[in-house]
Amino acid sequence: MFFLRGIAPLLGIVFLNAWLSGPAAGQAVSSSQPSGTPSAPTDSISRHGGFTATLSYGNNSSFFGRTQTTRLPYAAGELTYKSRVGVWGSVMSYNLFDTSSFIDETDVSVGWDGDLSKKVDASVSYSRFLFAENSPLVKSSINNSLDGYVGLDWGYVYSRLNASYLFGETNDFFLVLDQSRYFEIDKVLTPKGYLSIQPRVSVTAGTQRFAETSIEQQQVRGNQSRPVPGRGPAGTGTSPTTTTTTTTTQFRVLNYELRVPVTYSLGIWSVQAAWRYALPVNLLPDDVSTARSYFTTSLSLNL
């Protein structure tokens, strides 16, 4: 029953999208790059294989709608290689500005993505996450992730259903439904430059054992205050352990999100600025996540 209650809103959006969307109107299947990765010219990379190097900045971090107590701006560098058959590998490292560590997180990922037909694309991947000691990040409570998605181009709207399984110290499962639309303006500034905009609305549902583990970890590390006495069920002052454990295993809607990335591409270069607004819901008793705006910018070189 918990699973059905959590997935129902996602299925409702899928059926609503199917009813509203008309026949395909020549829109190409959206980029199969992971969410948050800068859009870039990928035709030659898809055909011949190649590298993409990206430098990026963000004013804060979040993970499946959950974030830490303080704002953590960061800089990141990523190197990705994608073969002409769609197999790829990437390494991405983050430096948080407000910590003593130079490298606060490194993600190593391998996977495959490609088109199954003119209107359908898909992806599967595995990622390993490595963190600095005493990391303040919510994400540091997990170490491994298996991810996949199937996307469908309806013509007017591109729909993508993402599935993620996190495992390691904790185990969680997520479904993320994205609805987006790609717009492109040619000959911007130069005959070969173009501007692309792809607004996206997302709904995330899943379990949140990782959030409970993160709260416990951050308290031990001194990055978050201890729970206030009396926050147990019905204000009795008892420990909320049983209630929290039950809540973390329920499959529920966790986050609503709107993202608007704007990318300018010229030859092998692309620059992106993106604004994102996240609204977390169904928080755990000691979770400090709130509705927030995020801003990221990046510079990519495709070889």
Residue 266 inside a domain? The answer is yes
Half-sphere exposure at residue 44, Cβ-oriented, CA atoms within 13 angstroms? 10
- Contact (Cβ atoms closer than 8 angstroms) between residue 108 and residue 126: no
- Residue 255 contacts residue 174 (beta carbons within 8 Å): no
153 token code pair: 């181009």
Give the angle 32-29-145 at the CA atoms, nearest 5°. Answer: 25
Tell whether 71 is covered by a domain.
Answer: yes
The tens digit of pLDDT for each residue in 189-212 reads 999 999 999 999 999 999 999 988
Is 297 inside a domain boundary? Answer: yes
For residue range 245-299, list pLDDT tens digits in order. 667 889 999 999 999 999 999 999 999 999 999 999 999 988 889 999 999 999 9
Residue 49 Rama label (left phi>0; alpha psi -120 to 50; beta): left
H/E run at residue 18: helix 2-20
Q: What pTM does this model have?
A: 0.78
- Alpha helix (H) residue ranges in 137-240: 209-221
pLDDT for position 242: 53
What is the per-residue DSSP string for 248-280? HHS-EEEEEEEEEEEEEEETTEEEEEEEEEEEE
Residue-wise pLDDT for 104-157, tens only, equals: 999 999 999 999 999 999 999 999 999 998 888 989 999 999 999 999 999 999
What burial letters (b/e) apply to 38-66, b meaning 16+ CB within 10 Å?
A: bbbbbeebbeeebebebebebebbbbbbb
Q: Is residue 287 part of a domain?
A: yes
| Phi, psi of 158, deg, nearest 5 | -105, 125
CATH of the domain at 92: 2.40.160.40
Query: Count of domains in the chain?
Result: 1
Q: Which one has a higher pLDDT value, 232 or 116?
A: 116
Residue 76 covered by a domain? yes
**pLDDT value at residue 179:** 97
Q: Compute φ and ψ for 264, nearest 5 degrees.
A: -110, 125
| Rg, the chain, Cα only | 20
Residue-range definition of the domain harbouring residue 209: 2-225+244-302
Q: Is residue 105 part of a domain?
A: yes
Classify residue 234: in a domain, yes or no. no
The one-letter amino acid at 131: F
Q: Residue 237 domain-assigned?
A: no
